[in-house]
Structure 1
Amino acid sequence: MRQLNIDIETYSGVDIKKAGTYKYAQSPDFQILLFAYSFDGEPVRIVDLAQGEYLPTEVVQALADPYVIKHAYNAAFEWYCLNRFFYSPIEQWRCTQVHGLYCGYTAGLGAVGEALGIPQDKRKLGTGMSLIRTFCVPCKPTKSNVMRTRTLPHHEPEKWRLFKEYCVGDVVAEMEIQHRLSVFPVPEQEWQLWHLDQRINARGLYCDLQMVEGALAVDDQVTGELRAEAVALTGLDNPKSVQQLSKWLEEEIGEEVENLQKGTVSKLIGKLDEGKAKRVLEIRQELSKTSVKKYQAMQTAICEDGRVRGLLQFYGANRTGRWAGRLVQIQNLPRNYLSTLEFARQLVVGKKVEMLKLMYGNVPDTLSQLIRTAFTVPNKRLLHVADFSAIEARVIAWLAGEQWRLEVFATHGKIYEASASQMFGVPLDQIGKGSDLRQKGKVAELALGYQGGKGALISMGALEQGLTEDELPEIVTRWRNANRRIVDLWYSLENAAIEVMETGHPVGVKGLLMQRESHYATQQDFFTITLPSGRKLYYAKPFLRENDFGKQALHYWGMDQTSKKWTELNTYGGKLVENVVQAIARDCLAVTLMRMDQAGYEIVLHVHDEVGIEGDNHDELDHILQLMSEPIPWAQGLPLKGDGFTTNFYQKD
């Protein structure tokens, strides 16, 4: 197999950050400016397409040749853009960004180069973003640039020379990253899954533009009315200002207002009598429900055929391999509780504001609940929505060998009730759906599986659900006593990780293999966990050090989820279990997605444990659910179950 490393620079009038790769590349003014390439590690060459050069015949043939593997950093971009003009099947491509993410590194060519310790001269040139702004996006017409809307090579010849060097430098950096990571290969099944991911992203999810435009129009009118009412009631120039409104409220109600956060506002509304202050706070509460940014994102990203593409980022959640949302962030859409979604949608499409107020009261909240429903299907097709039932709870029970839980999932599946029964010694049939014991079982199940304690229960809403802080420690103790094998799993993984780091010898735990993997020549060093699927979790540059509690703990380098910086992190047993369980659950979804694709189903979305398929008849759902329940070869004894429904638009059942 020959190797071809590629980087391209492009122009489009569409904002790629807001609209995404697919709409960007579909723009009528889209153009490939530069094409830099290297065959089999040879010196990088560059083709100046913007100035009339053509790709060599050898390169054009290689793009379509199955015996030439094409590599690029964020290869989804190069693949899709090049296929506007040349033929190059996705199955012949590999993505160096995915390889870096697989090995536990962050995204971004410069960032991963720095994390890998690649010398500066082999990483991106610092002037890159400035040059991209010069040549790759429209410019504002001014007198000094003779009112032009675009900068061409002959306008800035010296900058254009630097831009070509920058493009060449990208290929050099990408090749060096590929070389450093080559001894830690991505499994072939992951490349097949990435190929499927590109097909799903390119297919896109149909979006009801009338619904989107109606929602934006309704929101504009309603929020305008609410703000005008707040101005009239308060006399303030800007009643949205926390400082101005807090001062007004203190004068109006005669007491100090601590803050205007969501919880504080709710409490104040509950204790105030009818009057100006209460109404102003109700308005603030209504306006806080407004969530039109996602409608705006849909409007920006929608392509000419009515589809939004590029909603999923492969390996976007890093390490565990789970997907992340992009553009509209479908991984984080508000839930819907309205029982009359179809009627509400019709009112929004018709921009019938007064009827919306009459029927639903809080219009901003209604619009928020309807966001999912803007994703639909064309031409009277159907949307099958199916998800794995309690997938993480099933996986952790299977991994730990917690037999009573496995029996629950193999029979009635009522894990909240069964958990409460185990915790409190009460027969299952005496724990009703609305009972206090079921509530305790539910909050314990949601919060405690990954070594959480009292704080985890509070974060999961235990206090809001009627539990008192004094009873939380007992719930933690009872849950752990009822799930001793899961507790053992936390400490087994933690102790195994420390043993691996101290001895350098691999340790097997519950079908997992933990080991230290280093490669001197490429300066790579990892702690890894091999999953039942054969995929690995990577922890870069591992070492042992005491944690904040004075206990020996595994530390490594990774992306801090709060600061978004590449830094030292530490972990513990419960967190390792969480990583492993979420990764196995992800691998179960991956197997199922492949099965669905091979069965000919058109997957248009998936979110964590949920899949959306565009279909033509109701009978398809039964087969889809059957595919979700089929045993997985590397997970014998794991009881999987799918639940689902068929709809005309995306929603939560």
Structure 2
Amino acid sequence: MKTLSIDIETYSSAPLSKCGVYKYAESPDFEILLFGCSADGGPVRVVDLACGEKLPPETAAALTDEAVVKWAFNANFERVCLSRFLGLPVGAYLDPAQWRCSMVWAAAMGLPLSLEGVGAVLGLEKQKLTEGRELIKYFCRPCAPTKTNAGRTRNRPAHAPDKWAAFKRYNARDVETEMSVQERLSKFPVPESVWEEYQLDQEINDQGAALDLTLVRQAIAMDARSRRQLTAAMKKLTELDNPNSVQQMKRWLAENGLETDTLGKKAVAELMKTAPEPLGDALSLRQQLAKSSVRKYQAMETAVCADGRARGMFQFYGASRTGRWAGRIIQMQNLPQNHLPDLEQARALVRRGDYDGVEMLYEDVPDTLSQLIRTAFVPRAGAKFIVADFSAIEARVIAWLAGEQWRQAVFAKGGDIYCASASQMFKVPVEKHGVNGHLRQKGKIAELALGYGGSVGALKAMGALDMGLAEDELPLLVDAWRQSNPNIVKLWWDVDRAAIEAVRNKHANSTHGIVFSCRSGMLFVTLPSGRRLAYVKPRIGQNRFGGQCVTYEGVGGTKKWERLDSYGPKFVENIVQATARDILCYAMRTLRRCAIVMHIHDEVVIEAEPGMSLQAVCEQMGRTPPWAKGLLLRADGYETDFYKKD
């Protein structure tokens, strides 16, 4: 046997979507019901474990045989569940080096992250059976006790033999569909380097990060108390039955002379600036109640494994347009920042449950709890966290790709790109907290908003007006930035032409070290690293301005598969972010033996021995990959006893 394609059906009372597979498989009632498999592409066999069948000896042996490659769609699920099935202890899992994931393969081709979605887009003959959802609900989750089902809390095969037979057919079809995906994509193999990155990703997910459960549970209790107090204060102030109701609150505000269409966070913050009392107090209370910090803490408590670590927080290739990671369960990619100057003191108060102390010193309890979310992640006993991240990684990558020399010179001298950008735009020296220091903010907002073709709308979306910029100076800011960065502007439109030409003429061409090629119904963009971005079923279409553009199929803003359009600056954004991702991967591989427990955007968090050198980690992380000659990188970091934003 060389390959084994696997799909399993399981039961657990733990809620998979909320706790993740690692905690799900730890549940005392966890069980593998069906084991569907195919050896070397042969006929699919379903082993009915729930009804007493046993895995064939050669199949059981293959699960730990390093010579046999195990395939599955979302292989992390099968690998973790089978680790429990084989009796491995908490924290020990089957070797990810022996596994391949057809979901990763699909994602690398710009396809959906669901087996049903991939089958539909590829037009497979053997599609995933649609009745599976109801069968999973029936057999794989607890059921409500009723008179009809004699008060049972779980459905077993004997309770519905016809459904069980259908479930076995569903399991077999999933294996067939997964093998069809592999067969259809076989002409576009995933590079071995990406599988090595996937293995590293799985090792990080398996290791997980420790949580301070005392802090987590005290924060949940404090939040509940805070919500009770805030709700009571709101009721007293407004005399409403449910002051959390948007409709009731809008009506109360209107009756008191304040009309508003929305009670969104930004709208309420704006209203608070001019609202008379008691309306201002009511809006302030509403803002505090709207803080969703407790959800993160609840997600932590739900997902934490028996050894106190949260696992499975990172989805490899979760963003298929760039190959960057997506967050799962606790959603590490969107943790609130911390700005409290005495973070450690606030953390200590919450940890010991001193609600009155938190309220007295910080007033806004929900905001304080929100700022402490990151600090719930802690190193194991006797270790420390080393947190290191790249400095201005996207600004460095786009300057390198475009050959914008003045920017490269700023990075070479260790300068501040926001000051330098403002200086270039306004033709005066700009120093942070020094001469013309007020212009740095304009340089910063321009840098953040305009690098990928953004204009006045992008500046507004980035908060330019909130930062004190006047509406009439925004077009001038756009013009000044573009005139200061002619090579970046040229990169946008060179990429636009190269992409359109590749799709129209079905041949390869290149610009700025990026290769565009179109074959077999795919547009491929080969990055400097050698990795390829894929765009499905590209065509030449028309954009909303009446010009030509490349259109392709993908998951849009509605989360549905649809035809999308792109143009030079948008392609450049994908290319820059994908290249930044490849640089992070290169750094993570060089730091592989340093126990990386988390990585967020361009940052890595290492659970380090006390003697590990911060400087050595930053130097290692800042090494330029061999494929990026001339790119100037820099990594900065700090040591801490709990995770935070320094």
**Could you state the TM-score of these two structures normalised by the residue count of structure 1?**
0.96
1:403-482 alignment to 2 at 5 Å?
Answer: 403-429=405-431, 432=434, 435-482=437-484
SS at match of 1:643: strand
- Aligned pair partner of 1:95 in 97, 101, 104: 101
Deviation at 1:294, TM superposition (A): 0.7
1:83 aligns to 2:90 (yes or no): no
Mapped to 2, the partners of 1:95 and 1:513 lie a distance apart of 27
Amino acid at match of 1:625: C
SS at match of 1:84: helix
1:527 aligns to 2:523 (yes or no): yes
Answer yes or no: is the 8 Å Cα contact 1:618–1:646 preserved in 2: no
Mapped to 2, the partners of 1:176 and 1:627 lie a distance apart of 42
Q: Deviations over 1:294-319 (max 9, x none)?
A: 11111111111111110000000112
Answer yes or no: is the 8 Å Cα contact 1:290–1:367 preserved in 2: no
**What residue in structure 1 maps to residue 63 of structure 2?**
63
Answer yes or no: is the 8 Å Cα contact 2:31–2:85 preserved in 1: no
Q: Deviations over 1:207-231 (max 9, x none)?
A: 1111111111111111101111111
Mapped to 1, the partners of 2:95 and 2:432 lie a distance apart of 59
Deviation at 1:206, TM superposition (A): 0.7
Which is further off, 337-346 or 145-154? 145-154
Mapped to 1, the partners of 2:270 and 2:168 lie a distance apart of 60
- Aligned pair partner of 2:370 in 346, 368, 371: 368
Which is further off, 604-613 or 235-244? 235-244
**What residue in structure 1 maps to residue 274 of structure 2?**
271
1:550 aligns to 2:546 (yes or no): yes
1:391 aligns to 2:387 (yes or no): no
How many residue pairs get matched?
640
Answer yes or no: is the 8 Å Cα contact 2:504–2:539 preserved in 1: no
Q: Deviations over 1:454-502 (max 9, x none)?
A: 1111111111111111111111111111111111100000001111122
Mapped to 1, the partners of 2:196 and 2:286 lie a distance apart of 49
Mapped to 2, the partners of 1:339 and 1:399 lie a distance apart of 38
**What residue in structure 1 maps to residue 340 of structure 2?**
338
**What residue in structure 1 maps to residue 116 of structure 2?**
110
**What residue in structure 1 maps to residue 188 of structure 2?**
184
Q: CA 1:196 to 1:619, structure 2 compared with 1: closer, same or farther past 3 Å?
A: closer
Mapped to 1, the partners of 2:355 and 2:41 lie a distance apart of 63
SS at match of 2:591: helix
SS at match of 1:271: coil
**What residue in structure 1 maps to residue 129 of structure 2?**
125
1:638 aligns to 2:631 (yes or no): yes
**What residue in structure 1 maps to residue 89 of structure 2?**
none
Answer yes or no: is the 8 Å Cα contact 2:333–2:601 preserved in 1: yes
Mapped to 1, the partners of 2:73 and 2:228 lie a distance apart of 45
Deviation at 1:84, TM superposition (A): 2.1
**What residue in structure 1 maps to residue 492 of structure 2?**
490
Consecutive unaligned residues of structure 2, counting only runs of 5 or more, are 87-92
Deviation at 1:88, TM superposition (A): 4.6
1:559-598 alignment to 2 at 5 Å?
Answer: 559-560=555-556, 562-597=557-592
Amino acid at match of 2:97: E
**What residue in structure 2 maps to residue 515 of structure 1?**
517
Consecutive unaligned residues of structure 1, counting only runs of 5 or more, are 519-524
Deviation at 1:618, TM superposition (A): 5.5
Deviation at 1:255, TM superposition (A): 4.7
**What residue in structure 1 maps to residue 90 of structure 2?**
none
Root-mean-square deviation over aligned CA pairs: 1.5
Which is further off, 364-373 or 261-270? 261-270
1:239-388 alignment to 2 at 5 Å?
Answer: 239-252=243-256, 254-273=257-276, 275-388=277-390
SS at match of 1:387: strand
Q: CA 1:210 to 1:429, structure 2 compared with 1: closer, same or farther past 3 Å?
A: closer
1:167 aligns to 2:171 (yes or no): yes
Mapped to 1, the partners of 2:150 and 2:469 lie a distance apart of 69
Answer yes or no: is the 8 Å Cα contact 1:75–1:94 preserved in 2: yes
Answer yes or no: is the 8 Å Cα contact 1:432–1:438 preserved in 2: no
Mapped to 1, the partners of 2:189 and 2:117 lie a distance apart of 20
Q: Deviations over 1:15-69 (max 9, x none)?
A: 1111000001112221111111111221111111111111111112222223321
Amino acid at match of 1:546: Q
Q: Deviations over 1:75-119 (max 9, x none)?
A: 111111112244852211110000000000011110111011113
Answer yes or no: is the 8 Å Cα contact 2:525–2:532 preserved in 1: yes
Q: CA 1:264 to 1:499, structure 2 compared with 1: closer, same or farther past 3 Å?
A: closer
Answer yes or no: is the 8 Å Cα contact 1:625–1:642 preserved in 2: yes
1:238 aligns to 2:242 (yes or no): yes
Which is further off, 263-272 or 139-148? 263-272
Amino acid at match of 2:283: L
Amino acid at match of 1:178: Q
